[in-house]
Amino acid sequence: MAMSEISRCTYHVFLSFRGEDTRKSFTDHLYTALVHLGIQTFRDDEEIERGNNIKDEIEKAILHHSKISIVVFSKNYAASTWCLNELVMILEHKKSAKHIVLPVFYDVDPSQVKNQTGSYAEAFTQHEQNFESMVQRWRNALKEVADIGGMVLQDRHESQFIQDIVKEVQNKLHLISLYVPPYLVGIDSLVTQINQWLEQDGVNKVGIATICGIGGIGKTTIAKVVYNQNIPRFESFSFLAHVRETSQDCNGLVRLQRQLISDILKGKSHKIYNIDNGINKIKEIVCCRRVLLVLDDVDELEKIRKLMGTQIPFHPGSKIIITSRNRCLLNAHFISQMFELEASTNCGGLSKLFEVKELASSESLQLFNWYAFGHNSVPESSMAYARSLVKHCGGLPLALQVLGSSLSSKSVSSWKSALEKLEEIPDSKIQEILRISYDSLEDDHDKNLFLDIVCLFIEKDRDYTTTILDGCDYYTTIGIENLVGRSLLIINEKNKLMMHQMIRDMGREIIRQESSDIGKRSRLWHKNAFDVIREKIGSRTVKCLTLDLKGLLEDKAKRTNTTLHFPKHSKSQFLMSNDVDMETQAFAKMKRLKLLQLDYVRLKGDFKDFPKRLRWLRWHGFCMQSFPVDFDINELVVLDMRNSKLKQVRKDTECLPNLKILNLNHSHSLLKTPSFSGLPSLEKLMLKDCINLVEVDQSIGELKMLTFLNLKDCISLRKLPRTIGSLISLEELILSGCSRLDDVPRELHNMESLKVLNLDETAIYQSRLGLQWLLLKRSKGLGFSWASLPGFLVKLSLERCKLSNDVMPNDLCNLASLKSLNVSRDPIHYLPESLKNLTKLDELLLTSCTELEMIPKLPVLLNGFQCKFIFEDNPPFQGPGIILPFFFFCTRCDIFGCEKLTEVEDLFKLEPIENFEAEEIRRLFHVDSINRNRLQLYSYLTDSIMLATPQVLQECGLTSTFVVGSEVPIGFKHRTHEHRISFFLPTPSHPDEKIHRFSLCVVFSLASDQMLDLLPSAHIFNETKMIMQRYRSSFIGIHETNDNTMLWLIHWPVTDCQFEGGDLVSCMVVPIRLSIRKFGVTYETEHNIRYEYGLSHFSTGMSRLQIIIF
C-alpha cells in the first residue's frame, strides 16, 4: 500500500476491544505505541463525538476511514453484544474491501474463541436466552476470525508483545514511520508542545527548533515520535540520524546528503560527487516543496553548514528540528545564515528551544518496570531494590532502560549485587552514551574544569566556585557557560551548580580509568582519598583531594546498619577521639595539589613537606588552636575553617596576598580576629557564631576589597573598631544576634557602598550612646531622625531589636535607596508617615509586631495594599472579578501575627462603633442600643484571633457586619433558605432612578475550629449583562461562646448602569459548605434610599443584638 493511499484514510487502524477488560491497561498501551509511530488509530472512547449516533460512527470508522482492524480478544470479550456486533461488521467489510483484520489474543487461547469454551461459553449461554436470533452469526464470526491466525500473548512480556504487534501493523500498511520503543513514559506533554509549534503558521513560515538535553534523556525518541506523527502533513520529509557520528566517517557528509536528497525526492537516486555538489542539489530541491527535516545528534553548527551550506531557500511552511546536547546551538546569527532574507524574515519568532527534562520518580519507576518485568508492577520482593535503582538513575530514560533490561528475569540476590556494583562502577553502556558530551568539549581546559566540579563543587554557589577556580588558573565563567551549553551542568534558581547523578558518575568514572593505582589518579574523593592518605601512596599526579571523615564514617555506619551516637559536646570531638589520626607525610609527594578538603581529619607531624600550591583549603573541625608555623599556605585563595578549635588564626597573615574568602564560622574558641594588614585581596569575611569573639582587629579598615562581613551571633562582641567605616567596598554587614553589641561607630554612615545592614537582636536600641550617630538631633515632638544612616542602604533589618516608637524615627527620608525593611517582632505601635517617601521600597516585613495598630500609606511599589480586581484569563462575564484586599496575594509585605492591627491606610480601617462618625452607620445600627459583649474575630490578613467589642470595618468601599441573631431583618425583600437567591429588578418609577446599593444578610452557623479553613465571600451576578462582582471579607466573626447563629450583613455600593430595571440578578454566598440557615437581599435606588435593615426592623426575638460591623 503506497503512502499516498494511506494518507487518504482518516485512520490507519481501528481498535476493537472489550473496554472493561483492557481499556486502561493493554489496549491503552497498544494505542499509545501505535500513535507514537504516527499510525492514526481509532478507538471509540476517544474518537466519537457522543452527540452522534455511535453505531453509525463505528460503521464509518470501519468501512470508510481505516485500513486495518485490530481485534483484541480478552476474557470477557464475548460478554459484550456491542463487541460481537462490531466483529460481524468488521468481517463483512473484510469480504467486500481490502480491509485487513489482525486478531490479538490477550490472556485467551484462540481455541477458546473459536469453539466458545470457558468464559466464552458462559457468555453465549446468556446470549441464547436474550438474543437467540443473533447467536449463530456471532458464533460464525468468532470461528472465522480465530481461523485467520493472529498474535497470541501466551507467556511473553506485554512490552515485547506490543512491540511485535506494532511491527506487524507497520509491515501490513507499508508505512515509512521510524521505530520507537513500545513503552514511552513522560513525553506526551513535550510532544504536544512541539506539535503545536509545528502547526503555528505552518503553511506560511519556515521554522527551526532544537530539542536539547543530556545524553540518554530521550531527545531522539521524542524527535522520532514527532516525525512519525507529522509526516503526512508535509510533501517531503527526512530524518537524518547520528549526524555527529556519521559526519566523522570518510565521506560521511556525502552519505547524509544522498539520504536527504533521496528522502525528499521519495526514493529517486541522484549522484553526488562531493559536498559542494550535494549542497547545490539540496538547495535546488527544498525550495519547491514543504519539507519536514530532522537532524539528529548535532554537536556543532559547522556540521549543518557543511551538510547544507548557508542561505538555504526552504519553501514556506518547512520545519527543521535538530536534536543536540548543546543547548546554545541555535542563535540569531546562525538562523540568518541558514535562511535567505525572505525565509529568514518569515522565520522570525519560530526559532524554538525545547528542553527535555528528567522523568519524575513515578514515571521512572513505571518505565523501569516495563523493561524489567514487562508490565507496570513490581514484585514485593524486588520493590526496595527497584526503588533504589530508579533513584540511582535520576530520571534518565536510557539508564532505566539499560538497567531494567539487564535485570529482567534475574533473582533478588542479583538485583542486590547489581545495586552494590553500580554504586562503585557505573554501567558501561550508559557511560558510553554520556561520555559523548564530555568528549565533545573543545579543549582540555573545559574537560579539567568539568572534572574538578564533579569532585568538589556540585551544589556549591556559582560565584564561590568561580572565585576558587579562577585562582587555579581557569577561565571559569566561560568554562561554566560551555558546560551548561553541553548539558553537562545546570545552574539552578539559587545560583548553585547542579549536575545529573549519572553525569557525575560518568565524570568520576573518567577519573577512575586514569589508573588502576588510586594514588596516581588526578582527583581523589571519599574512601579512595582516605585510603591514599592512610597508606601514604599519593603522587605528583594528584591535583584535587576531598575527604569528609564525618560523612565517611556516617556512610559506613549506614551501610552496616549501625548508628553513630555522637556525644553532646560535638561530632568533631567524637571523631578526633577515635582512631582516625593520619600523618602529614602522606601529602609529601602531592606537589601539584591545589584543591584540598580535610573535614574532621586530624593530622600528626610537621607541615614542612605539605603541598605549597594550595588554592582552596577546606578543613572543617580543624583541631589545633593555631596554625602550625611551618604550614605554608601563601597561594591560598579561599580558606574555610568552619567549626575549628582555633583561638587565633596566625600572626603572619601578610603571607596571604591572594586570599579572597576567609570563613571561620562556628569557631567557638576564637577570641580575636587575625591582623588583616596582610590580606589586601580579601573580599568576604565570615565569623558567624564565634561566640567567644570579643575583638575585631583595628586593621580591618585596610580591607579595601571587602564586600561582605558576617558577624552574626557573636554574642561576646561589644563593639566594632571605628576603622570599619573605612571599608569603602563593603556592601553587606550582618550584625544580627550580637546581643551585647550596644555601640556602632558613627563612621558607618561614610560607607557609601553599604547596601544591606542587619542589626537584628542587637542591644543598640538600649543605648543612647550607641544611637547618637543615628540621630541628627532630638527634636521636640518629632521623635528621632535616622538621617545619618548610610544613604545607599538597600536592605535594613532591625528584627527583635525591641524598637518602640520612642526610637522609631518619623524621618526616613535619607534612606531613599531602601528596598527592604524588616522590623519584625519589635514592639512598635505604628509606622512613620515618612515611609511613603521610600519610593523604592518593595519589601516590608512586620511579622509578629504584636503591638502594631496602624500602617500608613505605603510607597508606590507597595501600593498594592488596596482593594484589587482579580480577573480570570477568559471570564465568561464582564466587569470586575473579585473585590479583594491585595494582602491576600502579597508576598512582599508580611503582617502575620500583627494581632492588634486595626488600620492599613487605603485598605481597611477597624474601629469601635461608638467612635464611628458616619451618620449613616449611626442611623442604621442605633449605636446606643448595641450590646458591648465581645466576639471572636479572626483576621485573614494577620492570621490571628482576637476578642473585641463591636467594631466597624470599612474595606474596599464596602461595609460589612457580623451580628448575633437568627432572623433576616423584615426590610429584606428577597429571602431563601439556600446559599443562592435570584430575582428580577423592577422597572424604575423615575427615569433617573438608579440602583445605588445592595444589602445582603446571611444567617449562618460556624464552629470556631472552622474559622481558619473558610474564606467567606459573597457574589452579585447580573445574569442579563453578564457582570459579576465578588467580595471576600478579610475578617470573620462568631460569638465568644460559639453557641449562637450569626448574621453577616454587607452593604455594597454599585455604580451606574451596572444594574437596571428588568435585569436578572443572582446573589450567592460561598463556600457552600458554610452552614447557611437563611439568606436575604434588598437594594436601594439613588433617589429613594431606604434603610430597611436598621435595628428598628429586627424582630422582637433579637432585642439583645451584638453587632460587629466590618
Extract the C-alpha cell encoding 263.
528522502
Extract the C-alpha cell encoding 580.
582516625
| Active-site residue flag, 535 | no
Bridge pairing between strands 867-870 and 882-885: antiparallel
Phi, then psi, of 57 in degrees rounded to 5: -65, -40
The alpha helices in 287-328, defined as continuous H runs, are 301-308
Extract the C-alpha cell encoding 1108.
460587629
Give the span between the Cα atoms of 829 and 206, in whole angstroms.
64
Bridge pairing between strands 351-355 and 708-710: unpaired
Give the span between the Cα atoms of 1006 and 1039, in whole angstroms.
10
Domain 907-1085, classified CATH 2.120.10, yes or no: no
Phi, then psi, of 71 in degrees rounded to 5: -105, 115
- Domain 187-355, CATH homologous superfamily name and number: P-loop containing nucleotide triphosphate hydrolases (3.40.50.300)
Burial (CB count <10 Å: 0-12, 13-18, 19+), residue 172: middle
In terms of Cα–Cα distance, which of 870, 872, 854 is closest to 909?
Answer: 854
Q: Is the dihedral of CA 851, 855, 861, 864 positive or negative?
A: positive
In terms of Cα–Cα distance, which of 126, 124, 102 is closest to 112?
Answer: 124
Residue listed under C-alpha cell 519589601: 843
Helical packing angle, 252-264 and 275-286, nearest 10°: 20
Ranges of the chain with pLDDT below 50 = 1-8, 46-53, 341-348, 564-577, 767-785, 865-877, 879-880, 886-889, 923-924, 1088-1110
In the chain, how long is the greatest CA-to-CA distance? 108
Q: Provide the β-strand partners of residue 1019.
A: 1030, 1068
Select which of 5, 59, 86, 731 is catalytic: 86
Burial (CB count <10 Å: 0-12, 13-18, 19+), residue 129: exposed
Give the span between the Cα atoms of 636 and 595, in whole angstroms.
10
Domain 11-174, classified CATH 3.40.50.10140, yes or no: yes
Give the span between the Cα atoms of 38 and 853, in whole angstroms.
66
DSSP 8-state symbol, 862? G
- Whether omega for the bond prior to residue 182 falls within 30 degrees of 0, making it cis, is no
DSSP string, 294-305: EE-S---HHHHH
Cβ(15)–Cβ(43) below 8 Å: yes
In terms of Cα–Cα distance, which of 167, 120, 126, 122 is closest to 146?
Answer: 120
- Which amino acid makes up residue 882? I
DSSP 8-state symbol, 743? B
Q: Where are the domains of the chain?
A: 11-174, 187-355, 361-423, 441-514, 907-1085
At the topology level, CATH places domain 441-514 in: Arc Repressor Mutant, subunit A (1.10.10)
The alpha helices in 733-818, defined as continuous H runs, are 768-771
Cβ(807)–Cβ(781) below 8 Å: no
Cβ(799)–Cβ(823) below 8 Å: yes
Task: Decide if 11-174 and 187-355 have a common fold.
Answer: yes
What is the three-state SS of 442-481?
CCHHHHHHHHHHHHHHCCCEHHHHHHHHHCCCCCHHHHHH
The tens digit of pLDDT for each residue in 586-612 reads 999 999 999 999 999 999 999 999 999
Three-class SS state of 545 = strand
Name 156's Cβ contacts closer than 8 Å, sequence gap at least 6: 374
Per-residue pLDDT, 951? 76
Give the span between the Cα atoms of 480 and 796, in whole angstroms.
34
Q: Is the dihedral of CA 332, 333, 334, 338 positive or negative?
A: positive
Bridge pairing between strands 151-152 and 100-105: parallel
The tens digit of pLDDT for each residue in 909-945 reads 887 777 766 655 554 455 555 556 677 888 888 888 8
Q: In what order do the strands lie in the sheet with 351-355?
A: 236-240, 291-295, 319-324, 207-212, 351-355
CB-based contacts of 386-391 (< 8 A; 24+ apart in sequence): 386/415, 388/419, 389/415, 389/418, 389/419, 389/422, 390/361, 390/364, 390/365, 391/361
